[in-house]
Amino acid sequence: MGWATTHIEKLRGGETVHFRPHGSSMSGRIESGQLVTVEPVLPANIARNDIVLCTVNGNQFLHIVKSIGTDGRFLIGNNRGRTNGWTRAIHGRVTAIA
């Protein structure tokens, strides 16, 4: 069970979730401990530069969509220039940061 499993389950049920992620990988866009709102999203409605809650290679991230492949996959990365890899497992999109 990863740090976001409970949030992912709620998003799958159609709920909006609020939480305070910790870490520095998204510094400049989301600071450690800031309150974020994540809403369920359809893959067709995801755009480059959206911040999403996703799973890449079994790891859960609140990171940026860097690119969208023609095959329906999304390249995920942080705000420090690192990429995590390609995935189809987008669970929700950040709609507010407080």
What's the CA gap between 19 and 27, in Å, rounded?
16
Give yes or no for residue 13 having a pLDDT over 90. yes
Give yes or no for residue 33 having a pLDDT over 90. yes
User: Does domain 5-97 bear CATH number 3.40.50.1220?
Assistant: no
pTM of the model: 0.96
Give yes or no for residue 68 having a pLDDT over 90. yes
**pLDDT at position 37, please?**
98
What DSSP string runs through 28-90?
TTS-TT--EEEE---GGG--TT-EEEEEETTEEEEEEEEEE-TTS-EEEE-TTS-EEEEES-E
**pLDDT at position 1, please?**
81
**pLDDT at position 14, please?**
98
**pLDDT at position 57, please?**
96
β-bridge mates for residue 53, sequence order: 62, 92
Confidence tier at 12 by pLDDT (50, 70, 90): very high
